[in-house]
Amino acid sequence: MIEFHLDGGTGVAPYKQLIQQVRRALRLGLLSEGDQLPTVKDVVAKVAINPNTVLKAYRELEYEGLVAARPGVGTFVRRTLADPSLAAHQPLREELRAWVAKARAAGLDTDSIEDLFVTTVHTPTEESK
Amino acid sequence: MTRPALRAEGLTKRYGRRVALSGCTLAVPTARVTGLVGPNGAGKTTLLQMAVGMLPPTAGTIEVLGARPASGAAQLAKVGFVAQDTPVYSGLSVADHLRFGAHTNPRWDHGLAQDRIAQLGLDPAQKAGKLSGGQRAQLALTLALAKRPDLLVLDEPVASLDPMARREFLKSLMAHTAEHGTSVILSSHLVSDLERVCDYLIVLVDSQVRVAGDVDELMGSHHRLTGARRDRAGLPGGVDVIEESHTDRQSTFIVRSTVPIDDPSLDAGGLSLEDLVLAYMSKPGRETTR
Amino acid sequence: MIWFTWRQFRTRAAIAVVALAACGVALLITGRTLAQMYAGVASCQSDCGAALSQFGEQFRRDDLFLVYGLSSLLMYLVPALVGAFWGAPLIAHELETGTHRLAWNQTVTRSRWLASKLAVVGGTAAALTGVLGWAVSTWARHIDTAVFDRIEAPNFGARGIVPIGYAVFAFTLGVTCGMLIRRTVPAMAITLAGYAAVVLAMPLWLRAHLIPALHETRPLDLENLSSMITNTGEGGGTMELTGPGMPHAWNVSNLTITPAGDEFHGPPDPVACGEDAAANACDAWLTSLNLREDIIYHPASHFWALQAAETGILLGLAALLVMFSFWWVRRRLT
């Protein structure tokens, strides 16, 4: 079962954070088809957030077709976002490690590496939701 | 909207020459957790006490769940209140307080009350005066929740609690609203708490309502615009400036806008709830007539 | 709400009942001694006058006299305690500690809250005062007929139903002060002051006029003057005479008047009452003046009428205070 958390200072709306966390879990294969999402009551009892926030997040996920609500039973995953390219993650990760080592050798600190990476990732194409 | 949880029109409270609330107009929807935020002395306690009928208005009207506050037993049954500093009868035990609630409230849910007391680990025989601050707040909340009100009003309920007690209190409150659909209005001067739990916000500064609305809608319509040094006249139309600051090279505006900002010379970013509240707190209010 | 009021009040009530029981025991024990002392009077068939005065003298010399005094004092003290310790804190303590903000948000209106408190605590105060008053009056019944008159102050305030009136009045005064002042200790002080003022004002100025007093004029009995004060001085001096007054009555005023109706203040006849005068000359001169005793009094038979009137006034004051309290709690109290 997935566990939610809230990042207070990011400026991202709480319901959007929940949606992002569900999508990340789906992408990484932590949630698969048929898995149940925690009930609204369970979520708010563990994380002190507004139940409407959870409802809103679940509703939007349902609208996107990712989950389905079964009245009286719960909310269940309909399909995953498991990237077929999941297999490509491991070699990509190793290439990335090598690149980071090169950047450090060139004298970049962690922040500069992050900035370089973030601007490169975001600039050419807009991240679509 | 359907009947609001709280409706105020031009609500004013004066003590002699001192104005505690001036011309407040609000329509707080039901089934929400509403946060009332503002600096100390802004009038939050005054507004909440008027909502539960502890104070009469000097001018204007206030209606809670469609009726005048404290206008009879039926109205009193619908509204629960936890006052600031959570008063309890220090000579009476926890169990006595529950019995008090059971004897005086027709909707009293004794099972809920006892379950909560057990969950919180409170000893029913303990005198309320010997409880810690956090335990007293939880007892007061239990009494208010077990009354099964339609609207729960909390005045700075977590102000004197340590972070752990604060988080537990909010969790309890949220779990209850999830299960029963109770409307909640709670005041605080800590925005970080409100950010997680509130979906409707009222900012009260210096006896006036500065802004009130759905949190998602407020977050979506407020932006921080940064760009080269300019006057507010240089901003695109349809934009309402809340706060501005300038250096010799750069200008930053916090604005409210219903239309998307598409000026390329401006970088438009989102705002955290705390920044939004602070911007409204620093904005000068309208003139009050005395 | 009744249950809760009782729960808050039960310790105080228990203390009062224990104290009352202790008083009751003391009265029972001393009452037996008193009954023995009175046995002589109880069994006399003829000429009880001598037995009565002997009883009176014996009583005055005994420790029972002290008990008698204390029991009367107690009847004045109890309403003061009720007002200060039961009345003043009733609302003031809730306002001081903020618990009214808890109580007023249960499903009970302010009126019902106040009514419950007034009824439970005030009712108990009245009942306990009544029981104590009955016990003390019963204990002192022989003394009231044989030694001291109960219609005279201070005995009047310690007998009959008047103590209940004072207790109820002091209680409502305490509650009202507590509600207005919002602090227990100052409210207690003001309540005690108000109670003391009324307890003093009533016999001094009001009681005599509650029902019409009787008026008697009769020849002054020079053999049984209650006082004679002579002052010789320049211009002849003064002479104040006071007759014995009506027996077993409260003599509100007792003036010595001349046949013409003027008050007599002397001066003493310089010849008949001078230093060189004969032994009975002054008396003879006084007799020749045909002085009269002009008395305004309430006889013993007025006792219950005065009791009812005074209690009525006290309860009336209490009722006004209660009405004011209800108005205040609903309209003005925050």
Give the model confidence (pLDDT) of C306-334 as tens digits.
999 999 999 999 999 999 999 999 887 76
Mean pLDDT value across residues C90-119: 92
Residue B290 lies in a domain: no
pLDDT tier at B142 (50, 70, 90 boundaries)? very high
Residues of B contacting chain A (CB within 8 angstroms): 31-33, 167, 170-171, 173-175, 177-179, 192, 195-199, 215-216, 219, 269-272
Q: What is the pLDDT of residues B238-265, one digit of tens each?
A: 788 888 888 888 888 888 888 877 777 8
pLDDT of residue B272 exceeding 50, the answer is yes
SS3 at position C54? helix
Q: What average pLDDT score do residues B139-158 get?
A: 92
pLDDT, residue A73, reads: 86
Q: Is residue B172 part of a domain?
A: yes
Is any Cβ of chain B less than 8 angstroms from the Cβ of C53?
Answer: no
Residue B87: which of C1, C97, C107 has the nearest Cβ? C97
How many other CB atoms sit within 10 Å of the CB of residue B290?
8
Given an 8 Å threshold on Cβ–Cβ distance, is B104 in contact with C99? no
- Using the Cβ of C101 and the Cβ atoms of chain B, whether some distance falls under 8 Å is answered with yes
For residue C181, pLDDT beyond 60: yes
Contact B99 C102 (CB under 8 A): no
Q: Are B240 and B194 contained in the same domain? A: no
- What average pLDDT does this structure show over B148-172? 88
- Going from the C-alpha of C11 to that of each of B19, C2, C15, C61, the distances in angstroms are 43, 15, 6, 40
The two structure tokens encoding residue A110: 């962690």
Residues in chain B: 290
Q: Does an interface of 3+ CB pairs under 8 Å exist between C and B? A: yes
A51, closest residue in chain B (CA to CA): B178
Region C216-244 average pLDDT: 84
CB contact under 8 A, B90 and C106: no
In a domain, B155, yes or no: yes
Whether C111 has its CB under 8 Å from any CB of chain B: the answer is: no
How much is the average pLDDT of B22-33?
A: 92
Amino acid (1-letter code) at residue C332: R
Structure pTM? 0.83
> CA of C214, closest CA in chain B: separation in Å?
55
Low-confidence residues in chain A, pLDDT < 50: 128-129
Look at residue B92 and tell me if it is in a domain.
yes
Query: Which residue in A11, A46, A56 is closest to B272 by CB distance?
Result: A11
The minimum CA-CA distance between B72 and chain A, rounded to whole Å, is 31
Q: Supply the pLDDT for residue B289.
A: 41
Average pLDDT of span B97-125: 92
pLDDT per residue over C132-162, tens digit each? 999 999 999 888 888 888 888 888 999 999 9
Residues B89 and B47 in one domain: yes
A48 interaction partners in chain B (CB closer than 8 Å): 167, 170-171, 173-174, 196-197
Give the model confidence (pLDDT) of C11-27 as tens digits.
999 999 999 999 999 99
Nearest Cα of chain A lies from the Cα of B175 at a distance, in angstroms, of 5
A→B interface, C-beta within 8 Å: 6, 8-15, 40-41, 44-54, 56
Residue B52 has its nearest CB partner, among C1, C105, C110, at C105
Q: Which of B197, B198, B271 sits opposite A11 (nearest CB)?
A: B271
Looking at residue B126, which CATH number applies to its domain?
3.40.50.300
Q: Order of strands, edge to edge, in the sheet holding A74-77?
A: A36-37, A74-77, A67-70
Residue B212 lies in a domain: no
Q: Is C102 on the interface with B (CB under 8 A)?
A: yes
Residues B106 and B157 placed together within one structural domain of the fold = yes
Whether residue B288 is contained in a domain is answered as no
Within a domain: B99: yes
The number of folded domains in chain B is 2
At residue B290, the pLDDT reads: 37
In the sheet that holds B208-214, the strands lie side by side as B79-82, B151-155, B183-188, B33-37, B200-205, B208-214
Asked if B54 and B160 sit in the same domain, the reply is yes
What rounded mean pLDDT belongs to chain C? Answer: 90
Q: If residue B142 lies in a helix (H) or strand (E), which one and from where to where? A: helix B133-146
Contacting residues of C for B21, CB less than 8 Å apart: none
Q: Where are the domains of chain A?
A: 8-77, 84-122
Q: Does B166 lie in the same domain as B120?
A: yes
Domain holding B268, by residue range, is 217-282
- Cα separation, C116 vs C119, in Å, equals 5
Of B206, B235, B253, the residue that ends a domain is B206
Whether B81 and C97 lie within 8 Å, measured CB to CB: no
The 10s digit of each residue's pLDDT in B57-94 is: 999 999 999 899 988 888 889 999 998 888 999 999 99
Look at C261 and C92; give whichever has higher pLDDT. C92
User: Cα separation of C169 and B241, whole Å?
Assistant: 65
Task: Tell whether the model's pLDDT for residue B168 goes beyond 90.
Answer: no
Chains A and C touch (3+ CB pairs under 8 A): no
Q: Which residue pairs from C243-249 have beta carbons closer than 8 angstroms and sit at least 24 positions apart in sequence?
A: C243/C293, C243/C295, C245/C293, C245/C295, C245/C297, C246/C216, C246/C295, C246/C297, C246/C299, C248/C149, C248/C151, C248/C299, C248/C300, C249/C149, C249/C151, C249/C297, C249/C298, C249/C299, C249/C300
Do B254 and B231 share a domain, yes or no? yes
Q: With an 8 Å Cβ cutoff, are B89 and C102 in contact?
A: yes
CATH architecture of A8-77: Orthogonal Bundle (1.10)
Distance CA B36, CA B154 (A): 10
User: Do B123 and B247 share a structural domain?
Assistant: no
